Amino acid sequence: MARKPLISGNWKMNLNHFEAIQNVQKLHYLIHKEVFDDVDVSIHPPFTDIRSIQTLVESEELEFALGAQHCHSEDTGAFTGEVSPAFLAKLNTEYVICGHSERREIFGETDEIVNAKVLAILKHAMTPILCCGETLDEREAGGTEDKVLGQIAAGLAGVSNEQIASMVIAYEPIWAIGTGKTATSEDAQTVCAAIRTKIRDMADDVTADAVRIQYGGSVKAGNAAELMSQPDIDGALVGGASLKPDFVELVRNGAG
């Protein structure tokens, strides 16, 4: 079945809200309107930028979808420094990244924490982008599928088939993030196909055929089209390259 690609720009801890507004305006000017017929684009700025970007996107009727980089699993409580999914929903946030490797590796998020976030995001009618991926040591030891599919099974615990079908899963090999190394399109396809098969086994054919699977890890304009030409890769989760001028070309190439 045809799945519209989703390209997500994760700005990480970059750009204050003034810079973010300028960046979105520039991106929208450079990405021709008809490109959005063939690809969805979500923007994931820092939390302090979200309200400014929401206002810009809605007032100017821009085609970008607003996204967040993560959230807490609880709506309210004594969680200093965290952000509630309920607050993000009030800002018309559409997508929330959860289980990003930096959250797992640097901040110690477990599969159980990630699963709780997935359920919380869905509860507030937003779409989780559930990240999974292996380290270089795990890859070299032949443990890629065990690691990735284990993260998928844990992250989707308690999630209905209908909810899974609406989600986005991002395969982002940790060894490829910010290193300039990228999985070959064939290797990325192999893992993304395994993810889809896992979902088919956990749920059903309809669910597996509907869920969108992104690839993330040193995606750039030069390799976007080849990666997204693979049958089980439905877009890209883009980090540092989403802050560079060639992000526009990356989106165009991803649109085919």
DSSP category for residue 177: T
Q: Which of 28, 44, 72, 100 is catalytic?
A: 100
Class of domain 6-254: alpha beta
Question: Rounded to an integer, what distance in angstroms lies between the CA atom of residue 67 and that of residue 94?
Answer: 6
pLDDT in tens, the chain (256 residues): 579 999 999 999 999 999 999 999 999 999 989 999 999 999 999 999 999 999 999 999 999 999 999 999 999 999 999 999 999 999 999 999 999 999 999 999 999 999 999 999 999 999 999 999 999 899 999 999 999 999 999 999 999 999 999 999 999 999 887 777 778 999 999 999 999 999 999 999 999 999 999 999 888 888 999 999 999 999 999 998 999 988 999 999 888 7
Q: Note the pLDDT of residue 68.
A: 98
Q: Is 100 a catalytic residue?
A: yes
The per-residue pLDDT for 1 is 55
Domain locations in the chain as residue ranges: 6-254
Residue 254: predicted pLDDT: 86
How confident is the model at residue 175, as a pLDDT? 86
Catalytic status, residue 72: no
Determine which one of 102, 134, 138, 172 is catalytic: 172
Cβ(139)–Cβ(173) under 8 Å?
yes
Residue where the block lists tokens 């439905």? 234
* Predicted pLDDT at 14: 97
pLDDT given at position 218:
83
Task: Return the pLDDT at 157.
Answer: 98
